[in-house]
Amino acid sequence: MNTVIIFVILAIIQGLTEPLPVSSSGHLVIFKHFFDLVSDNAVLEIMLHAGSLLAIIMFYFDEIKMLTLNNLAFIFKGDKKFHKDFEFALKLVLATIPAGIIGLLFKDEITATLNNVKWVGWFYLITTVLLILPKIIKPSAKPLSFQNTFLIGCAQALALLPGVSRSGSTIASSMALGINPEEGMKFSFFMFIPIAIIVIASGSIDLIASSPNLELLIAYGVAIIVSFLVTFYAMRWLSIIIKKDKYHYFALYTLILSLIILFFL
């Protein structure tokens, strides 16, 4: 199959499944199992995530710009009216710590699950439970405290496993803690930004070192654009779903997918 076509297929999968609570890594493992479309090309996966990152930044551009400027004003000018924005930034840092520690300690074990589709089936059951958890708990409204932030970060650490959705685990856990769903969605994707920037920056070094030919560079470029467009419109769709309080509907999809994998693959 043509390289560009393969990259476009994977970009569409990435674009849809990064924001939606259905696990992008889980879907890539499934497609690898069926079609052998996913190789060990780590650079490609990083480029696909770069497209998603650009879409998320574009989606929240005004909020990101304001948060950045307000934090700079607080740090360098001591403007105390921006203290809440500084606290928000600290919460983002705190939320990334659990996944960072778990990822370093269990890197080899996590990597091993990427080649086992059965494990993905079991991990999709975890996503299913997380998605219906807010409806079971029915919590009272609570602010985004440092304690809640850490718990959301722990939920994100689960998403290192293919089949556990990163957006699903973080948004659903924030909703289960009583945080406003739209605020939880924003915090979830803000958490994605610093991690993605670090991974993409390191991956860019590998891209340069690999000295790709023009055809491969074009294919990467197309993949980034497709991933960007699909992610952006999937973000808009997700926002509507959350506003309509239908986020838990995705649990039916992940449950069916889990059962198919466990019983038929």
Residue 39, pLDDT score: 52
Instruction: Give CA–CA dist 12/95, Å, rounded.
Output: 28
Q: Are 44 and 223 in contact (CB under 8 A)?
A: yes
Domain with 180, as residue range(s), is 3-60+108-145+158-264
- What is the radius of gyration, based on Cα positions, of the chain? 19
Residue 165 falls within a domain, yes or no? yes
Residue 175 falls within a domain, yes or no? yes
Instruction: Give CA–CA dist 262/265, Å, rounded.
Output: 6
Residue 19 falls within a domain, yes or no? yes
SS3 223: helix
- 107 CB contacts (<8 Å, ≥6 apart)? none
Torsion angle of the four alpha carbons 94, 96, 102, 108, in this order, in degrees rounded to the nearest 10: -160
End-to-end CA distance of the chain: 24
Residue 153 falls within a domain, yes or no? no
Residue 236 falls within a domain, yes or no? yes
Total domains in the fold of the chain: 1
Residue 227, pLDDT score: 96
Which tokens is 116 given? Answer: 């086992």
Nearest CA-CA partner of 234 in 14, 8, 73, 49:
14
Residue 45 falls within a domain, yes or no? yes
- pTM value surpassing 0.85: yes
Alpha carbon of residue 89 to chain centroid:
18
Which tokens is 50 given? Answer: 């770069």
- 151 CB contacts (<8 Å, ≥6 apart)? 173, 177
Residue 67 falls within a domain, yes or no? no
Residue 35, pLDDT score: 67
Instruction: Give CA–CA dist 20/22, Å, rounded.
Output: 6
pLDDT means over runs of 10, the chain (265 residues) = 82 93 87 64 81 96 96 91 94 93 86 82 96 92 94 94 93 96 96 86 71 81 95 97 95 96 89
Residue 87 falls within a domain, yes or no? no
Residue 254, pLDDT score: 96
Instruction: Give CA–CA dist 191/197, Å, rounded.
Output: 11
